[in-house]
Chain A
Amino acid sequence: MKQFNTFPKFWGLIQELALKTVKLRYKNSMLGFLWSMMNPLIYLVIFTFVFSYAFPGIDRYPLYALTGLMFWTFFSSSSIQVIESVINNSGVLKSINVPTIAFPLAAQVASLISLFLSLIPFSILMLIFGLEIGWETLLFLPILFLFACFTFGVSLILCSLNVYFRDIQLAWTSFMPAIFYSSPIAYTTSVIPEKFLWLMKLNPLYHFITILREILYYNRIPSLMQFLAIFALAAIPLALGFYIFKRLERGFVSQY
């Protein structure tokens, strides 16, 4: 009895669920998705006031901060949504035979759709702040894809555990600010003493944000090493995420 055994059918389900999420997010608000940009914009204003004085060395500071903030917003919002996705749909999962993985996957796809929507106004802002577009800008898409895979992998691990221990989603929201400030979003790594730099490099977000800046801010083509690094950082959590999810999925139904 496999109801979603073909790929088009499974993909149809993901689309329907993702579109529902996007629709619901903006349904009853007047300014719609403009609100989803408010959070990064408020940060941007604060950072521009605070940090451009603290680190006057950074050229085109608003663009620098914005390139980091955009992807941070994607990471933080989609991880929370993926983590909660299974629990929030327990009613459906308990009564209808749908593949459980559809819900985290749809949450991730919905976040990607929101990100692409927000890219339209953000790119206008970035152009104002001095973004230069070249061929290397196209590399943005594969990097974004890998970043989404990384985000999904990490969130899927947490999502599987969260079904058993709701502490996970609470803990994750509290950890968010710590992860934020330990990533080079508002500041450059040049402010960090050389001997602590290795510590920063343990943070996977460091690598994704640096490579995105490389193309969007410095207009340089990233090195092969940088690509290999983010490829590994995307593939390992993703594989681990699927593995843990599969292992734990069987017992989910008892927890709904």
Chain B
Amino acid sequence: MQQSILKEPIVIAENLSVSFLIQRHGINNFKDFVITMGVKSPFEKKNVLKGLDLTIYKGECFGVMGRNGSGKSTFLRTIAGIMKPDEGKLTVKGRVAPLMALGVGLEPELTGMENIKLVGTLIGFEKTELNASLQAIIDFSELTADEINMQVKRYSSGMMARLAFSIAVATDPDILIIDEALAVGDMGFRNKCAKRIDEIKAAGSTIIYVSHHLEEIKKICTRACYLEHGRVEMIGDVNEVCDYYEHQVIRKKA
């Protein structure tokens, strides 16, 4: 791990706190909310991340582990800019491509081709960029000319996942976030995805990978952290963190 210390940090979280609003019920709360224009809110804050400190370095493949509800997804959403920190500081250097849930933004009634344009625009492609990578996306997805002009609602779930993944990894982003999205497609496509991730890594991008699948994490990542109750409980070499995770799960069960 000596070498990663020498590297340039790309994501720095310092004492990061992120909260959710939980609704309180009752008509009076609603009245207060309207009268005070959202200042006195009928909502309670629930902290999901509580003072998280973490640094991820440029070019590394970083695994994030933790039990359900430990704040993994919230952390990734904050990196992606979807959620805003309440306290603390989060520095993210570069363009983030979040692959949170595969198939988000796909419109079943439109054709594959139309969907490439739609989802591509949503994730921030400009028109010229999109036209330039159109063929590459189609090639990568392995969809035939017939299939690409078919409505997406007629796709099998594997085909849909292939299309979604192809759009998401069309360019080399500075940071690629993968939230358990890889368990898709048939064997051939999965290998291709793994290869593409290696390519993205080789091009110098950073990958943040969330999974419960220890083998996958060990295969892809070099470093990892274990989150619990919105804090980093352990950070270090991927094998050590995986062992720790296994121990935690077994201990909790017992």
Residues of A within 8 A of B (CB): 1, 3-4, 8-9, 12-13, 16-17, 20, 23-24, 27-28, 91-98, 161, 164-165, 244, 247-248, 250-251, 253-255
Contact = CB atoms under 8 A, between A and B. Distances in A.
Contacts of B123: 3, 96
Nearest to B79: A1
Interface residues of B, number: 39
A253 B83 contact: yes
Contacts of B20: 254
B30 interface: yes
Contact of A96 (B105, B126, B127): B105
Nearest to A20: B118
Contacts, number: 93
Contacts of B101: 91, 95
A256 B54 CA distance: 27
A24 B81 contact: no
A8 B95 CA distance: 18
B82 A4 contact: no
A244 B126 contact: no
B107 A24 contact: yes
A1 B21 contact: no
B104 interface: yes
Contact of A97 (B34, B38, B41, B96): B96
Given A3-B124, A96-B104, A247-B38, A253 B77 contact: yes
A250 B37 contact: no
Given A12-B127, A247-B38, A253-B82, A91 B109 contact: no
A24 B96 contact: no
B21 A97 contact: no
A97 B81 contact: yes
Most chain B Cβ neighbours within 10 Å, of A8, A28, A92: A92
Interface of B: 20-23, 30, 33-34, 37-38, 41-43, 77, 80-84, 92, 94-96, 98, 100-101, 104-105, 107, 109-110, 114, 117-118, 121-124, 126-127
10 contacts: A16-B121, A17-B118, A20-B114, A92-B105, A94-B77, A96-B104, A96-B122, A97-B96, A248-B38, A255-B23
B95 A3 contact: yes
B105 A13 contact: no
Nearest to A14: B121
A161 B38 CA distance: 10
Contacts of B30: 165
- Dominant SS among interface residues on chain A: helix
Contacts of A247: 37-38
A229 B100 CA distance: 48
Contacts of B105: 91-92, 95-96
Nearest to B84: A250
A221 B124 CA distance: 46
Given A24-B109, A95-B101, A244-B37, A251 B21 contact: yes
B110 A12 contact: no
Contacts of A13: 121-122
A98 B121 CA distance: 10
| Smallest CB-CB A-B distances: 8 pairs | A95-B100, A3-B124, A254-B21, A97-B81, A16-B121, A95-B104, A254-B20, A92-B105
Given A13-B122, A98-B122, 11 more contacts: A20-B118, A23-B110, A91-B101, A92-B104, A95-B104, A96-B80, A97-B82, A247-B37, A248-B38, A250-B84, A253-B83
Contacts of B94: 1
Given A20-B107, A24-B109, A95 B82 contact: yes
Nearest to B21: A254
Contacts of B98: 95-97
Contacts of A3: 81, 95, 123-124
B92 A1 contact: yes
Contacts of B84: 250
A251 B43 contact: yes
A23 B84 CA distance: 34
Contacts of A92: 104-105, 122
Contacts of B83: 253
Contacts of B34: 161
Most chain B Cβ neighbours within 10 Å, of A16, A17, A96, A244: A96
Given A92-B104, A247-B37, A24 B110 contact: yes
Contacts of B96: 1, 97
Contacts of A251: 21, 41, 43
